[in-house]
Amino acid sequence: MINLEVPKKFQQLVDQAHQAAEHFFRPNSRKYDRDEHTYPKELDMLAAALDGLSASGGGAGAGGVRRSPAAEKGNVNGGNLRLLLGTMEMCWGDVGLLLTMPRQGLGNAAIASVANDEQLKRYEGKWAAMAITEPDTGSDSGAIRTTAVLDGDHYVLNGEKIFVTSGERADCVVVWATLDRSKGKAAIKSFVVDRDTPGFELVRLEHKLGIRASDTAHFRLDNVRVPVENLLGSPEIETGKGFAGVMQTFDNTRPLVAAMAVGVARASLEETRRVLAEAGIEIDYDRPANTQHAAAARFLQLEADWEAAYLLSLEAAWMADNRKPNSLQASMAKAKAGRAGSDITLSCVELAAGAGYSEDSLLEKWARDSKILDIFEGTQQIQQLIVARRLLGKTSAELK
């Protein structure tokens, strides 16, 4: 049975993450939002102390979270829940700065999900980005056109990748490519490509609405030769398993993106509560919402929405720690938190009126930052489609 309180053994980590968010992320939030594409060098000092937020600090290696193969009795609160709680606290401070933390890349979670022991050891301590999206694929990961052709003891990769978070700053990039386009999703595999590999060209960095402290890269791969040992998972094309191999990555990363949305939404709610209190508007939990000030009633609705997103995120992480299939819960958490985060932060701007729209407050910045959390790692619409397929027992071919 899941216990929804923060486990005592994680309380120190949560406190440390909150301190970092409060004393570094918040004070520097505006600075790096305005100075886009400038790397926050101060993060290097924090990175070693905060490595415990990733599974590399928990013994799993490669900066991500792995499910333990060992059978354990009873409920387990492990690396997934630890990382989720730490992510929430850090994003209470600043989402963009969290995304540009060394060794905390989404590629690290990908490596940790499917890498073998040798790969985990080789990439331990490395900062890994993840490259999935292409100019012509959008949210349909199964339509990937980047190719990987076996040539001796190397794969040769050709294609383009866009919207690669931390692509310029990372040590390596996990690139999704297809071994044989005629065999559909089953042929899509992921490869770890070192940033200095010949032919791996940085085309440009994107200018963005939010998370501006985090760099977002566009890459071109022109005959990039990657050693066969850099392929993550099995090299065999198993049509019966479909897309399961690489998609396992999302079971790890989607709850983390949900946690980011939960963290920034909580920050907005707390600031809005303060603004309302200064305006003399009381929020009373002992009275029906319809008997209170309209702003207080709306705040209560937003807070209830936040609570639902928070609980779904905890459930997805807890299930992963207890070796339970969590694809449905990961998509539910991502869908709910992504939508709620965007709705909450924008509504908080509205409730705070001029104070919310001004750069004197961080409310407008949080509203800009939160939108991406409803888009990357699978859009809102894609998550709803996945949830519908799971609940109705439909395949991707049957329900598009």
Q: Which residues have a catalytic role annotated?
A: 377
- Give the C-alpha separation, 187 to 96, whole Å: 33
- Eight-class DSSP state of 23: I
User: Beta-carbon neighbour count of residue 283 at 10 Å?
Assistant: 18
Contact by Cβ (8 Å): 335, 367: no
Name the strand (E) or helix (H) holding 263. helix 244-278
Lookup: tokens for 72: 């354990």
Lookup: tokens for 387: 């949830």
- Give the C-alpha separation, 395 to 388, whole Å: 10
Lookup: tokens for 191: 């490869």
- Give the C-alpha separation, 98 to 277, whole Å: 30
Beta bridge partners of 156: 149, 225
Handedness of CA 101, 328, 321, 236 (dihedral sign): negative
- Give the C-alpha separation, 100 to 215, whole Å: 7
Lookup: tokens for 312: 């779904």
- Give the C-alpha separation, 90 to 262, whole Å: 11
3-class secondary structure, 207: coil
